[in-house]
């Protein structure tokens, strides 16, 4: 069985369908209530109007669908998060199993490699690769992972999975704007979101720790938009 790359597109549309169906189901109830109100106020017309109503219901459904899809794209932070956890959790389970098989395959290869080279330098190479893990960036006051972030994390996940003995710490950072306390919490949320995504990509949870530095450790000491954009990040350091 081949490991399919984690569904960036497939998962999304599937999620959308599920979500919209959820909304639709509730909307049906909402509409029915409205129908009840119409009935109470003009029950005399109900029979006559029922046919007309049925036609209107369909158009209302379409309008609602359009509105709802707009809303869900905009600000469903939590929903996205929960969903990602929900759906990717299930994926994770599948993939760890696959991973185990993979790891055993890799290990076999490593054994043959060990004969040729040195274990220590292999370890060092792994460490070096982990140290070079790329950072990911966030939008202002957001801890949602952008598409670019997710792509970077995919690459990082591969490196991490290839070196399971190297433990890392995911650091969450913010730009200097805003309250220090709030930024500490926001940084924490960014670190946790990153870690969860990596878990969903197959990285074992025990390999990663999280910490938030808020706005205390900026990369760029400037006070411009570019500097701030560079500081809103999650980065990876070796655990000591």
Partner 1 sequence: MIIFKRVLLLVLALLITVSSALAVKIEISAPGEQQIPLAITSFVPMGQIQPEIATEINAVLDADLSLSGLFSMVDRASYLSDAETLGLNSVQVDFTQWKLLGAEAVVKGGYRIEDGKLIIEARLFDVISRRMLTGRRYIGKPEEVRRIAHTFADQVMHSLTGEKGPFSSRIAYVSNRTGKKELYLMEVDGHAPIRLTNHRSIVLNPDFSPVGKELIFTSYKNRNPDLHRKEIYTGREARVSHRTGLNIGGRFSPNGREIAVTLSKDKNSELYLIGTDGTIHRRLTNHWGIDVDPSWSPAADKIAFVSDRRGNPHVYIVDVDSLEVNRLTFDGKYNATPAWSPDGERIAFSRLEDKRFDIYTINPDGTDERRLTFGPGNKEHPRWSPDSRFLVYSLDRDGEKSIYVMRADGTGNRRISAPGGDDSHPAWSGRW
Partner 2 sequence: MKLPKKQSWRQLHSRLEPGFKRMLWLSVAIHFLFPILYTGLLHFTPEKAKPPVYRVNLVNKPVKNPQAGRPEASPKQETKTVKKAKPKPVVRPTPKPKPVVKPKPKPSPKPEPKSKPVVKPTPKPKPEPTISKADEQSFDQKMAELRRQQEREDRLAALRAELERERRKVVSPVEDAPVGEITGKGDQEGIAYASYVKEFITERWRLSKYQLPSLNLEAEWKLIYNAQGKLIHKKVISKSGNKAFDDSLLTAIMKSQNLGRELEEQTEFEVTFNLREMQN
The pattern of x and - marking residues 9 through 48 that bind partner 2 according to CB under 8 A reads -----------------------------------xx-xx
182 contact, one of partner 1, partner 2, none, CB 5-8 Å limit per kind: partner 1
Is 57 or 237 the residue whose CB approaches partner 1 more closely? 237
How far is the CA of 68 from the CAs of 13, 55, 59, 103, in angstroms?
Answer: 15, 20, 14, 43
- Residue 25 Cβ vs partner 2, minimum distance, rounded to whole Å: 25
Tokens 């701030």 — which residue?
Answer: 228
Q: How far is the CB of 110 from partner 1 (least distance, A)?
A: 31
**Residue 76 binds which entry of partner 1, partner 2, none, CB below 5-8 Å type-dependent:** none
Cβ 43 to partner 1 shortest distance, Å: 40
Cα separation, 34 vs 187, whole angstroms: 44
Partner from partner 2, partner 1, none contacting 51, C-beta within 5 to 8 A by type:
partner 2
By CB neighbour count within 10 A (0-12 exposed, 13-18 middle, 19+ buried), where does 112 fall?
exposed
Is-contact 157 198, C-beta < 8 A? yes
Site size for partner 2 (CB under 8 A) = 6
* Nearest-angstrom CA–CA distance, 100 and 71: 40
Q: Which contiguous run of DSSP H or E holds residue 172? A: strand 168-173
- Minimum CB distance to partner 2 smaller for 53 or for 229: 53
Count CB atoms within 10 A of the CB of residue 135. 16
Q: HSE-up of 226 (CA within 13 Å, CB side)?
A: 1
Selected binder of partner 2 within 25, 30, 41, 50 (CB under 8 A): 50
Residue 45: name its binding partner from partner 1, partner 2, none (Cβ under 5 to 8 Å by kind).
partner 2
Nearer CB in complex with partner 1: 132/141: 141
Please state, in angstroms and as integers, the Cα–Cα distance from residue 51 to each residue in 33, 45, 236, following that order.
17, 11, 62
Where does this chain bind partner 2 (CB under 8 A)?
44-45, 47-48, 50-51
């Amino acid at each position: 069985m081949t490991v399919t790359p984690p569904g960036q597109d497939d998962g999304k549309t599937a999620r959308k369908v599920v979500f919209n169906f959820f909304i639709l189901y509730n909307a049906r109830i909402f509409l029915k209530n409205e129908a009840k109100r119409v009935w109470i106020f003009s029950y005399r017309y109900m029979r006559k109007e029922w046919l007309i109503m049925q036609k209107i219901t369909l158009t209302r459904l379409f309008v609602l669908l359009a509105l709802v899809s707009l809303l869900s794209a905009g600000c469903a932070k939590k929903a996205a998060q929960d969903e990602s956890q929900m759906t990717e959790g299930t994926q994770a389970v599948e993939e760890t199993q696959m991973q185990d098989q993979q790891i055993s395959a890799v290990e076999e290869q490593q054994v043959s490699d060990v004969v040729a080279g040195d274990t220590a330098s292999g370890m060092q190479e792994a460490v070096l690769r982990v140290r070079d893990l790329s950072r990911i960036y966030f939008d202002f006051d957001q801890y949602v992972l952008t598409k670019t972030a997710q792509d970077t994390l995919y690459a990082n996940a591969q490196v991490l999975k290839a070196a399971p003995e190297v433990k890392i710490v995911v650091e969450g950072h913010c730009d200097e704007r805003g309250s220090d306390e709030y930024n500490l919490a926001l940084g924490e949320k960014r670190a946790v979101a990153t870690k969860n995504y990596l878990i969903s990509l197959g990285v074992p949870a025990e390999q990663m720790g999280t910490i938030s530095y808020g706005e205390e450790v900026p990369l760029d000491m400037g006070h411009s938009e570019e500097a701030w954009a560079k500081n809103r990040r999650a980065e990876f350091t070796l655990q000591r």
